[in-house]
């Protein structure tokens, strides 16, 4: 089964619609320059309902170059399960969250970069969280660009790590992405919106259906990840 994360949630209505559509993870964006930015007080109101009524849904905070202290504060106030570090954070910073954070890596086919610096070996045999998120490399943009990531490079990494594939995914192309990359999970924001920052319930349902369609033909053997754990 391919995990689905719908990111950039700003309202309880959108959160509930995403859950009804079949998402597994919800993302809340704390980068002030993003059109999907949410204040921590507003997020806390939403997550208090979600934790009570839908405790099975994993809740993720998205941060860009925030301090460790600020991130941990928001994680606690908003009852979030994980931090997605989408800026220029170091491996040491990721490690400071003791498995409660993962790094977003912007891959470019023209650049050589080893994302394995953000993961480490472990004897853990279960894969509960992603080791990393793969996004498109767009100059001056920290995500949510709508540009497709480098699927070929992502596919190579997906054979080694439980990764979330992001970058320009839509109901129209995500089935192909799942078949080609075979990721642990997929992440979408702009691809299921009717306007920037406004989720579309029908697009979210279509996205989930497409992921399920692609997954049926490309099941990955995640027991291969028995030696990987998020830093």
List active site positions. 7, 135
Residues 43, 59: Cα–Cα separation, whole Å: 10
Residues 12, 220: Cα–Cα separation, whole Å: 33
Residues 143, 140: Cα–Cα separation, whole Å: 9
Residues 170, 207: Cα–Cα separation, whole Å: 6
Residues 51, 57: Cα–Cα separation, whole Å: 8
The phi, psi pair for 228, rounded to 5°, reads: -115, 135
Pick the closest to residue 2 from 121, 179, 126, 171 (CA basis). Answer: 179
Angle, helices 40-53/12-21, rounded to nearest 10 degrees: 40
Residues 187, 165: Cα–Cα separation, whole Å: 6
Pick the closest to residue 58 from 88, 34, 84, 37 (CA basis). Answer: 84
List, in sequence order, every residue forming a beta bridge with 106; answer none if it has no partner. Answer: 135
Residues 101, 89: Cα–Cα separation, whole Å: 11
As given in the structure block, the two tokens for residue 29 are 């964006």
């Amino acid at each position: 089964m391919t995990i689905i994360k719908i990111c950039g949630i700003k309202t309880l209505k959108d959160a509930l619609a995403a859950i009804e559509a079949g998402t597994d993870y919800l993302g809340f964006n704390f980068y002030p320059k993003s059109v999907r930015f949410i204040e921590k007080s507003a997020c806390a109101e939403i997550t208090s309902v979600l934790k009570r009524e839908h405790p099975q849904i994993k809740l993720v905070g998205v941060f860009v170059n925030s301090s460790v202290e600020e991130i941990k504060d928001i994680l606690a106030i908003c009852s979030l399960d994980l931090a997605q570090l989408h800026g220029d954070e170091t491996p040491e910073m990721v490690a400071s969250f003791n498995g409660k954070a993962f790094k977003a890596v912007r891959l470019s086919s023209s650049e050589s970069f080893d994302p394995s610096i953000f993961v480490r070996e472990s004897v853990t045999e279960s894969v509960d969280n992603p080791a990393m998120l793969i996004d498109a490399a767009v100059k001056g943009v920290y995500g949510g660009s709508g540009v497709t990531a480098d699927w070929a490079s992502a596919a190579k990494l997906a054979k080694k790590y439980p990764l979330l594939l992001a970058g320009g995914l839509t109901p129209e192309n995500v089935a192909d992405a799942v078949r080609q990359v075979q990721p642990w999970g997929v992440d979408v924001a702009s691809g299921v919106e009717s306007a920037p920052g406004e989720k579309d319930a029908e697009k979210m349902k279509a996205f989930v259906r497409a992921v399920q369609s692609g997954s049926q033909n490309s099941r990955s053997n995640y027991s291969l990840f028995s030696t990987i754990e998020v830093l």
